[in-house]
Amino acid sequence: MICHKTKFVRESLPSLGANRPILPLIFSLSLNLLSHAPLNGAIPASQPRDYPPARRDTQVDDYHGQKIADPYRWLEQSDTPETRAWIDAENRLTFDYLAQIPQRKAIQGRLTALWNYERYGIPFKEGGRYFFTRNNGLQNQSVLFATKSLNDEPQILLDPNQLSPDGTVSLTGMAVSDDGNWLAYSLSEAGSDWQTWRVREVRTGKDTSDVLNWVKFSGASWSKDNLGFFYSRYDEPKTGQQLQAVNEYQKLYYHRLGTAQAEDALVYQRLDQKQWGFSGEVSDDGRYLIITVNRGTDTRNAVFYREIGKPGAPVVELLKDFDADYTFIGNDGTTFWFRTDLAAPRGRIIAISLDHPERASWREIVVQSDDTLQQVHLVNHQFIALCLRDAHSVVKIFGTDGHWMRDVELPGIGTAAGFCGRPQDQETFFSYTSFNTPATIYRLDMADAKSSVFRQPKVDFNPQDYETRQVFFPSKDGTRIPMFITHKKGLIPKDKPTYLYAYGGFNISLTPAFSVANLVWMEMGGIYALPILRGGGEYGEAWHQAGMKSKKQNVFDDFIAAAEWLIASHYTRPDRLAIGGGSNGGLLVGACMTQRPSLYGAALPAVGVMDMLRFHKFTIGWAWVSEYGSSDQPDEFKTLLAYSPLHNIRPGTAYPATLVTTADHDDRVVPAHSFKFAAALQAAQQGPKPALIRIETRAGHGAGKPTSKLIEEAADKWAFLLKELNMEASIPGAKGR
């Protein structure tokens, strides 16, 4: 059973402690800018003298006849003595700056106090046992528990906190055999995407000798005989290139318990398709291996299958055109059900018979509606459909013949997740969260669709003290954009410090979720604003496509329009407005602060994709070409150059106060993006506003980051904004400024 059917190499979404899922600098100048920035290593007069010196090379690349300077190319080599010295100097400058903010210690104390609450993951059941994670509050990593009854005292099955003194080894994946006796689990060190898989006997809690290396972007799926599982891996990279080498030619394997990885059976590979990735899933009846084939982060995929019980059975290419998204839901014999956006950008459910797989024989089971159908699970021989309505969750239950049965009642306007299980299960579990509701776990009885609380967190705040409203505003081209605005009740929203956070890409949806960090921001008197930008998945594939490749500027226009609306509506003013985002959201912040630098008082770009001309040359960056385009293509090069944050920094410009954040083990968006952007920004900055970079050690793109590091990073960000936005904040244990 795969509870979370996620796409291959899907961008993760790091955030300031929000309960969200986790999957995207050399200063290059085009020739028409060369007259404004010397390439001989001279420091522009506007550069503050206390920034660490960054050597400027004469590297110039030719893109389709246009020369682009890349003077900080050397920062792409993160382990050279010169780069390490630059990193150390930048961190000294940044942490010294942050340490001088008097309220920083009190902010960290408040974050720590609020973060110290018991929280649970969503339970699932295998072989008569329930499995779930729990964090007692300040544990760096959540602990995996198992129990035979929900009323029994659960037993610790795996505690990642015992695996490293600093809490940087995290549990990144798990799969339990059908009989409940074996746990296959993956660990990641220091936030890397690389996973090491092991096997633990559930009864004894002891590991077997099984160890699988060089696994990335893969889950595990057990065969029904409980003797082994399917997984995907890459070839071992060259020594020293583990965090930067391009990841290609993924292969699907079967691992049999008790054998060495070298003996694993190769199930499927495509030497003619270096960018294909494979995800193997065993159908619930055990008859079929479903092979989902993805090309990077492109939402369009293929689906193949193989009959497991027939030795030598071929892999059948059931859906091979890569013309839409097809997500396998389950099957009834030779009838396969899929969630797809084929001819339905907001999603529908179809049935395909293996006996008559031609398109003319496909049957529509659940039609497209006004809501966006994001996920479907088959439980109690019914479809549980997770939908979005204006970026908040709606859950519907359908019969397998497609008739609507009932909706699942949710506590309010928020986000629901979970609902996994098997066709024969009569119960399932889900979580619900909103801006003022910590993730609460519910048990759903499928007989009557009644839910009951399984675990409810207790955080030291009053949810009734906060309010959320959803507004709609026009973007530059008139498109109607929604935005959530949350703050303390009684706050007069006039010229208040405001944190505008967004993502806008990769078909990823931003929905209401609780965040301790955001709660502290609002306690300090700040407003939190979350606009729903094009490029995301909130309104289906058409909404996604309206913000990708040649239309990427729409995303930036939406974000800029959100800022302008907040200012025009007197919620805030430019000097009190901060913008933030991570990964693809870091690109968003970088693009918007270079396009409209005077519109914001501060910017917090996190692990951002900043060099749009070279992103595809590192690790899994090639997988984002379907989203962004590639500088290898002349037309796409022009589009990328027009908004690439690194290439649009103008010397002598007054940029907002900026705190760039990245991590030395980020092998998703390699830290060179942030290094080069920060060096260029420091060289170009005009005026007194700081341009700083915070480089976390033993951390990656965001997933698996220890609680202690999450708290420290949030404290640094809020302290930075408190100072730069000139906030009159009231923090328990601190004096207002």
Angle CA 710–184–198, to nearest 5: 80
**How many beta carbons lie within 10 A of that of residue 167, not counting itself?**
19
- On the question of pLDDT at 27 being above 70, the answer is no
Q: pLDDT tens-digit profile of 91-142?
A: 999 999 999 999 999 999 999 999 999 999 999 999 999 999 999 999 999 9
Angstrom CA distances, 114 to 137, 435, 440, 463, 519, stand at 9, 15, 16, 13, 9
Residue of 583, 626, 631, 674 marked active site: 583
Mean pLDDT of 372-398: 98
Task: Copy the structure tokens of residue 421.
Answer: 């299980």
pTM reported for the whole predicted model: 0.91
Question: Which residue from 61, 20, 43, 21 is spatially nearest to 651, judged by alpha carbons?
Answer: 43
Mean pLDDT of 490-514: 96
Q: Measured between alpha carbons, how far is 612 from 265 in angstroms, rounded to an integer?
A: 39
- On the question of pLDDT at 8 being above 50, the answer is no
**Which ranges of 526-671 does DSSP label H, i.e. alpha helix?**
541-545, 553-568, 584-595, 625-628, 634-643
Q: pLDDT tens-digit profile of 31-83?
A: 232 222 322 233 233 334 489 999 999 999 999 999 999 999 999 998 899 99
CA torsion 555→558→563→567, rounded to 10°?
Answer: 170
Across the chain, what does the average pLDDT equal?
91
36 included as an active-site residue: no
Angstrom CA distances, 559 to 229, 321, 581, stand at 44, 35, 11
Q: Measured between alpha carbons, how far is 133 from 127 in angstroms, rounded to an integer?
A: 18
Cβ–Cβ under 8 Å, residues 62 and 112: no
Query: Could you state, in order of their start, the residue ranges of all structural domains in the chain?
Result: 31-112+461-724
Q: pLDDT tens-digit profile of 708-736?
A: 999 999 999 999 999 999 998 778 645 44
Quick check: helix, strand or coil at residue 293?
strand
Proportion of the chain above pLDDT 70, given as a percent: 92
Q: Measured between alpha carbons, how far is 245 from 76 in angstroms, rounded to an integer?
A: 12
pLDDT band at 667 (very low <50, low <70, confident <90, very high): confident
Angle CA 285–288–292, to nearest 5: 120
DSSP summary character for residue 680: H
Q: Specify the amino acid at residue 210.
A: D
Task: Copy the structure tokens of residue 437.
Answer: 């509701």
Task: Copy the structure tokens of residue 389.
Answer: 């309505």
Q: pLDDT tens-digit profile of 136-151?
A: 999 999 999 999 999 9
Report the sign of the C-alpha dihedral through residues 396, 399, 405, 408, in that order. negative
Top CATH class, 31-112+461-724: alpha beta
Question: Which residue from 526, 449, 535, 439 is spatially nearest to 487, judged by alpha carbons?
Answer: 526
Task: Copy the structure tokens of residue 20.
Answer: 């969200």
Paired residues of 221 in beta bridges: 230
701 included as an active-site residue: yes
Mean pLDDT of 171-185: 97
Q: What per-residue confidence (pLDDT) applies to 43?
A: 29
Residue of 392, 487, 616, 701 marked active site: 701
